[in-house]
Structure 1
Amino acid sequence: MSSRTSLHLFCFAICLSLATANAQEHSNDSLETVKKNVADQKAVLVDVREKAEWDKGHVSDAVFLPLSDLRNGTVTEDQLKKLPKDRIVYTHCAVGKRSLQAAKVLAERGYEVRPLKQGYNNLIEAGFQGSKEK
């Protein structure tokens, strides 16, 4: 193997390991742990679904921060004030995919984010208080 090929393989391995290290995964925290951390004010639950979904029902203590706002940079300072950096941020959506995407954006802003794989319906079934108030 030439030294040039070795260098390319080495660079590829470094890039792959960095990409893997930065890849966001769903949290292993149980919903009971999430509920306790939110109740103890150690964490904030963030709903990253879109407004129409939120309006149909949401967890009453959740912060509403749609993924579309995070993606296009229209998040306001007032929205971010609801996310203290000294607390864990649990993101949730309908089935976990947007939760991962939002977690990546928030982690880049310096938050400790733990995206939930469980969606809104799972949270309600686990005993989180629901609300339809806007």
Structure 2
Amino acid sequence: MTYLRTITAATLLLLVTLSASAAEHTKDTLEQVKKRLADKTAVLIDVREQREWNAGHLKNASLVPLSKIRKGTNPKVTSKDVIIYCHCRSGGRVIPAADILQKRGFDVRPLKAGFEDLLKAGFKPAK
């Protein structure tokens, strides 16, 4: 019986820990994102891969692919106080990217809107 309680307690602790550390899409509006990017209190990173970036990317975004974040690459920011908004094609890769970068001490806010959605919302493409 003690063994069963120990296993149950360990499982519950693991579930609570995992759910508490998981990043979520930001609740910041796209207008708030644009304002913070304009006033330089935030930066925008694209966590897609190089081939996707080459096919088109947003003006003033920096490429930091999820594959490289997983290998230890960090965004180039002047301070960990700078907000990092991250985006990808459809909003799926930003969550693991944010989890990793948040554990490294960055203020990361993953965008649910993907690349095409951001273009439709008025974010400018790079030329």
TM-score in same-fold range (> 0.5): yes
The equivalent residue for 2:102 is: 107
Q: Secondary structure at the match of 1:60?
A: coil
Residues 53 and 69 (structure 1), Cα distance of their counterparts in 2 relative to 1, 3 Å cut: same
Deviations 1:32-74 (A, max 9, x none): 111111112221111111111112211111111111211233x
The equivalent residue for 1:38 is: 37
**For residues 55-66 of structure 1, what are the structure 2 equivalents within 5 Å?**
55-66=54-65
Instruction: Give distance in 2, aligned partners of 1:59 and 1:82.
Output: 18
TM-score (norm 2): 0.90
TM-score (norm 1): 0.85
Residue 83 of structure 1: how far off its partner (Å): 5.8
Residue 92 of structure 1: how far off its partner (Å): 0.3
Which one of the candidate residues 86, 94, 97 is aligned to 2:92? 97
The equivalent residue for 2:115 is: 120
Retained in 1: the 8 A contact 2:45–2:75?
no
Q: Secondary structure at the match of 1:58?
A: coil
Unaligned runs of 5+ in 1: none
Residue 82 of structure 1: how far off its partner (Å): 3.2
Q: Which amino acid aligns with 2:108?
A: V
